[in-house]
């Protein structure tokens, strides 16, 4: 993260509500942010549009739970090096879609690839090893491990993690030392370095979110998937979290994050994908996508401006028109 | 006079080979439950299988060390068979499968079908498999007996100094082995899995493989415990059933799960106090309760102790209170 953004995080006065906190978050004016904006400005904001430099391509992924179709995504491309927000009302299938992409759930059909490699049928472990690392909506800090141990656990390719290698300390002492230095550096960035010897279980909810993000960074991911990073985090930390998410992009990573609050994604995302009832209903830059009729319908209901007390609703002709509209959607 | 005899009996339990055998089984269970969070409810099954493996191999003419390898291998094989179907599932399934598989081993052992090898319900008599072990003795052949404080045993034989020396040496080697493993990055992955296996999976670790390694190693330690358990007596399938599993659990929880010396301290304390109670009841309540009732009351007290431990001191004697200060979930 650049010094500039870090200062911004500390200078602002303590906000009282999350909305207030979000409004004070400014879009990073880093080169990466400008490039992302510039490139995506040329992409037409329609569902399933193709993008100039895709890192992930999803085709016809369907997940059914019994008779209910939770996810039915036709075509989606994710641009490399930008922050893509996946939003939608509660129950839209965002987290399920996330679980499918990261190998934590298996779809009924469909295919998707990451950096040109198919991820279909790949285990969550292998997905992570390929450089696509996720966090969880309900944070999974490893409670009875210290903050530093949480970080060291995430480092890849430690010879001491092999059963036989673990018995011979000289084999892994060097790796462990290098990993510790890296971990402390990342922890310092997330202002968790003073907590390094505390049990992760003793951290606050927001600190756990930060730890989870820091831990994901230990794996050197190319793409980082954040599931509701702002959920249950106090307003002061929301700002710092949003700065960190932007810093990930500025460091060259691709970020895909799930959020149900439209407000939260407005300032920091470069591209927004909107899901409703399992389908992608709109995508585009954050400013224009919020104006999209399909998005407003998804969030507020298609007939939110219809007065239910209106006598004209009793007229069969009007009802038929509304029904026809409903069918068209 | 009576009091000193009771105290001597309790003291003898502290260093008894059975105490060492149970400590070893508890060290294995500690690897399962304490470090990896695996609920193995059939440690007695691993012990019985180890005892059969050792006994049958010796009776077929195998030298001592080969018979020991056979015992360890049968424990490892049992762990593999149990682990392959259950370790992909939620933790409770392993508990269900291990408790029933241990019973299956016991039932097969006492079945008349295999009587030729297992000796059926009567089991294998001590004299049929102990010779190779006793030939290994490094203790002097004459004089035959030796006293250490108030304790006096033969040097070489079933209930001998040699059995004690060997059993406790094995415990020390096991403690060293577990210390090397659990201080390493490999041990850290196990602890991570104990806390939240999905989080560890999301960081690119092969959770199934680690759980399997822990199950196999802990099972092999259980089998070794089984061999030590039968060296001063005979292989009797009915003495190695569910109650033995719960003795091992009590020992582990008393000493402290996830600690290095917990199983050893737990075993020594458990058997000394257990003996103190039973001998005390036999002397003090003579005429009030019969000797069979003393055994039954003793068993009841073990159950009550296990319950009280889990409720009031789940971290055991050596466990870290700080780890329980926060909600683990």
pLDDT for residue B89: 86
Q: Are B226 and B46 in contact (CB under 8 A)?
A: yes
Check CB contact under 8 Å for A152 and B187.
no
Determine the residue of chain B that is closest to A125 in CA distance: B204
Check CB contact under 8 Å for A125 and B325.
no
Residue in A114, A100, A98 with CA at minimum distance from that of residue A63: A100
Kindly list the residues from chain A whose CB atom is less than 8 angstroms away from the CB atom of residue B191: 142, 144-145, 149
pLDDT for residue A265: 81
Give mean pLDDT, residues B49-73. 97
Tokens describing residue A327: 């069918």
Kindly list the residues from chain B whose CB atom is less than 8 angstroms away from the CB atom of residue A143: 195, 326-328
Check CB contact under 8 Å for B328 and A144.
yes
Check CB contact under 8 Å for A140 and B322.
no
Chain B nearest-CA distance from A318, in A, is 52
Check CB contact under 8 Å for A136 and B195.
no
Q: Which residue has the tokens 């408790």?
A: B99
Each residue's pLDDT, cut to its tens digit, for chain A (329 residues) gives 344 444 444 444 566 666 666 666 777 778 888 888 888 988 888 898 999 999 999 999 999 998 899 999 999 999 999 999 999 888 889 999 999 999 999 999 999 999 999 999 899 999 999 999 999 988 898 999 999 999 999 999 999 999 999 999 999 999 999 999 999 999 999 999 999 999 999 998 889 999 999 999 999 999 999 998 888 788 778 888 888 999 999 999 999 999 877 777 888 899 999 999 999 999 999 888 878 888 878 776 666 666 666 666 667 777 777 777 777 76
At B60, is the secondary structure helix, strand, or coil?
A: coil
Of the residues A160, A162, A209, A211, the best mutation for testing chain B's interface (the one with the most B CB atoms within 10 Å of its CB) is: A160
Q: Are B245 and B43 in contact (CB under 8 A)?
A: yes
Could you tell me where the beta strands, DSSP code E, fall in A182-278?
223-227, 254-259, 271-276
Q: Which residue has the tokens 């793409």?
A: A223
pLDDT for residue A309: 63
pLDDT for residue A303: 62
**DSSP for B216-281?**
HHHHHHHHHHHHHHHTTS-B-GGGSSHHHHHHHHHHHHHH-TT-SSHHHHHHHHHHHHHHHHHHHH
Nearest beta carbon to residue A153 from set B192, B327, B328: B192
Nearest beta carbon to residue A167 from set B181, B191, B325: B181
How far apart are the C-alpha atoms of A24 and A21, rounded to whole Å? 5
CB pairs under 8 A between A and B: 109
Kindly list the residues from chain A whose CB atom is less than 8 angstroms away from the CB atom of residue B325: 202
Question: How confident is residue B78, by pLDDT bands cut at 50, 70 and 90?
Answer: very high
B47's enclosing H/E stretch is helix B43-59
Tokens describing residue A96: 């399920």
Give me the percent of chain B exceeding a pLDDT of 90: 77
**Chain B interface with A: residues with Cβ < 8 Å:** 180-181, 184-189, 191-192, 194-196, 198-207, 213, 217, 322-323, 325-328
Provide the CA A296 distance to its chain's centre, in angstroms. 21
Determine the residue of chain A that is closest to B192 in CA distance: A142
Kindly list the residues from chain B whose CB atom is less than 8 angstroms away from the CB atom of residue A169: 184
Which residues partner with B235 through β-bridges? B124
Torsion region of A86: left, alpha or beta (phi above 0 gives left; psi -120 to 50 gives alpha): beta
Check CB contact under 8 Å for B196 and A142.
yes
Q: Are A197 and A124 in contact (CB under 8 A)?
A: no
Nearest beta carbon to residue B198 from set A126, A140, A144: A140
Determine the residue of chain B that is closest to A217 in CA distance: B203
Where along chain A do its domains lie? Answer: 3-140+221-291, 142-202
More confident of the two residues B88 and B80: B80
Determine the residue of chain A that is closest to B180 in CA distance: A167
Q: Are B129 and B232 in contact (CB under 8 A)?
A: no
Classify domain B2-324 by CATH number: 1.10.3470
Residue in A217, A208, A218, A205 with CA at minimum distance from that of residue A145: A208
Q: What integer best gives the mean pLDDT of chain B?
A: 92
Cis peptide preceding A275, ω within 30 of 0: no
B74's enclosing H/E stretch is helix B64-86
Chain B nearest-CA distance from A182, in A, is 16
How far apart are the C-alpha atoms of B170 and B173, rounded to whole Å? 5
**Chain A interface with B: residues with Cβ < 8 Å:** 102, 104, 123-126, 128-129, 133-136, 140-145, 149-150, 152-154, 156, 158, 160-163, 165-167, 169, 172, 176, 199, 201-202, 215-216, 218-219
Taking every pair of C-alpha atoms in chain B, what is the biggest distance, in angstroms? 65
Check CB contact under 8 Å for A156 and B184.
no
More confident of the two residues B282 and B105: B105
pLDDT for residue B124: 94
Of the residues A135, A139, A161, A179, the best mutation for testing chain B's interface (the one with the most B CB atoms within 10 Å of its CB) is: A161
Enter the ipTM. Answer: 0.88
Of the residues B36, B187, B199, B329, the best mutation for testing chain A's interface (the one with the most A CB atoms within 10 Å of its CB) is: B199
Determine the residue of chain A that is closest to B327 in CA distance: A201
Kindly list the residues from chain A whose CB atom is less than 8 angstroms away from the CB atom of residue B186: 160-163, 165-166
Nearest beta carbon to residue B195 from set A135, A136, A144: A144
What is the sign, positive or negative, of the torsion defined by CA atoms of B39, B44, B50, B53? negative
* CA atoms within a 13 Å half-sphere pointing along the CA-CB vector of B76: 8
Kindly list the residues from chain B whose CB atom is less than 8 angstroms away from the CB atom of residue A129: 204
pLDDT for residue A4: 42
Check CB contact under 8 Å for A199 and B201.
no
Query: In the predicted model, is pLDDT for residue B83 greater than 60?
Result: yes
- A139 secondary structure, DSSP code: -
Give mean pLDDT, residues B2-27. 95
Q: Tell me: the pLDDT tens digits for B215-245?
A: 999 999 999 999 999 999 999 999 999 999 9
**DSSP for B10-36?**
HHHHHT-HHHHHHHHHHHHHIIIIIII
More confident of the two residues A2 and B43: B43
Q: Tell me: the pLDDT tens digits for B143-193?
A: 888 888 889 999 998 899 999 999 999 999 999 999 999 999 999 999 999
Chain B nearest-CA distance from A160, in A, is 5
Q: Provide the terminal-to-terminal Cα distance of chain A, rounded to the nearest Å.
A: 43
pLDDT for residue B103: 96
Chain B nearest-CA distance from A144, in A, is 6
Chain B nearest-CA distance from A302, in A, is 38
pLDDT for residue B242: 92
Kindly list the residues from chain A whose CB atom is less than 8 angstroms away from the CB atom of residue B181: 163, 166-167
pLDDT for residue A268: 87
Domain A3-140+221-291 belongs to what architecture? 3-Layer(aba) Sandwich (3.40)
């Amino acid at each position: 993260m650049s010094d500039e953004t870090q200062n911004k995080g500390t200078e602002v006065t303590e906000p009282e509500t999350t909305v207030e906190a979000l409004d004070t978050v400014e879009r990073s004016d880093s080169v990466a942010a400008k490039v992302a904006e510039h490139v995506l400005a040329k992409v037409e904001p329609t569902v399933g549009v193709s993008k100039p430099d895709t890192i992930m391509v999803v085709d016809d992924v369907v997940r059914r739970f019994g008779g209910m179709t939770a996810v039915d995504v036709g075509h989606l491309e994710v641009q490399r090096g930008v922050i893509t927000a996946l939003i939608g009302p509660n129950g839209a299938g965002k987290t399920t879609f996330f679980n499918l992409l990261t190998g934590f759930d298996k779809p009924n059909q469909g295919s998707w690839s990451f950096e040109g490699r198919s991820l279909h049928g790949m285990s969550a472990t292998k997905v992570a090893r390929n450089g696509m690392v996720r966090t969880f909506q309900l944070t999974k800090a490893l409670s009875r491990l210290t903050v530093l141990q949480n970080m060291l656990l995430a480092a890849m390719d430690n010879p001491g993690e092999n059963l036989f290698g673990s018995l011979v300390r000289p084999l892994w002492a060097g790796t462990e030392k290098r990993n510790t230095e890296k971990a402390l550096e990342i922890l310092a960035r997330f202002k968790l370095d003073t907590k390094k010897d505390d049990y992760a279980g003793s951290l606050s909810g927001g600190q756990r979110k930060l730890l989870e993000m820091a831990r994901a960074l230990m794996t050197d991911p190319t793409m980082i998937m954040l599931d509701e990073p702002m959920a249950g985090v106090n307003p002061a930390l929301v700002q710092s979290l949003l700065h960190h998410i932007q810093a990930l992009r500025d460091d060259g990573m691709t970020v895909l994050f799930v959020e149900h609050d439209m407000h939260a994604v407005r300032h920091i995302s470069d591209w927004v994908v909107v899901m409703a009832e399992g389908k992608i209903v709109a995508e585009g830059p954050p400013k224009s996508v919020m104006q999209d009729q399909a998005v407003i319908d998804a969030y507020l209901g298609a007939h939110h401006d219809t007065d239910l007390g209106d006598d004209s609703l009793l007229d069969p002709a009007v009802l038929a028109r509304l029904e026809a509209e409903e069918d068209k959607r | 006079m009576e009091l000193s005899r009771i105290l001597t009996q309790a003291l003898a339990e502290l260093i008894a080979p059975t105490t060492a055998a149970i400590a070893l089984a508890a060290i294995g269970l500690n690897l399962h439950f304490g470090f990896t969070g695996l609920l193995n409810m059939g440690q007695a099954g691993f012990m019985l299988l180890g005892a059969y493996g050792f006994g049958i191999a010796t009776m077929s003419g195998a030298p001592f060390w080969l018979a020991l390898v056979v015992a360890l291998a049968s424990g490892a094989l049992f762990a593999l068979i149990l682990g392959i179907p259950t370790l992909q599932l939620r933790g409770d399934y392993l508990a269900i499968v291990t408790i029933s598989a241990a019973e299956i081993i016991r039932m097969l052992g006492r079945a008349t079908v295999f009587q030729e090898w297992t000796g059926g319900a009567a089991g294998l008599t001590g004299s049929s498999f102990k010779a190779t072990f006793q030939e290994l003795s490094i203790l002097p052949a004459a004089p035959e007996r030796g006293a250490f404080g108030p304790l006096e045993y033969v040097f070489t034989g079933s209930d001998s100094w040699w059995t004690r020396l060997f059993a406790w040496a094995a415990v020390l080697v096991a403690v060293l082995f577990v210390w090397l493993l659990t201080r390493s990055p490999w041990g850290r992955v196990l602890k991570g899995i104990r806390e939240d296996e999905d989080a560890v999976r999301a960081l690119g670790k092969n959770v199934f493989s680690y759980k399997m390694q822990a199950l196999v190693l802990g099972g092999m330690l259980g089998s070794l415990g089984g061999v030590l358990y039968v060296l001063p007596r005979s292989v009797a399938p009915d003495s190695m059933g569910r109650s033995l599993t719960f003795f091992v659990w009590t020992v582990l929880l008393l000493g402290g799960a996830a600690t290095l010396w917990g199983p050893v301290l737990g075993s020594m304390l458990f058997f000394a106090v257990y003996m103190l109670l039973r001998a005390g009841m036999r002397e003090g309540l003579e005429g009030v309760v019969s000797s069979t009732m003393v055994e039954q009351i003793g068993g009841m007290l073990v159950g009550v102790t296990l319950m009280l431990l889990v409720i009031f001191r789940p971290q055991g004697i050596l466990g870290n209170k700080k780890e329980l200060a926060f909600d683990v979930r």
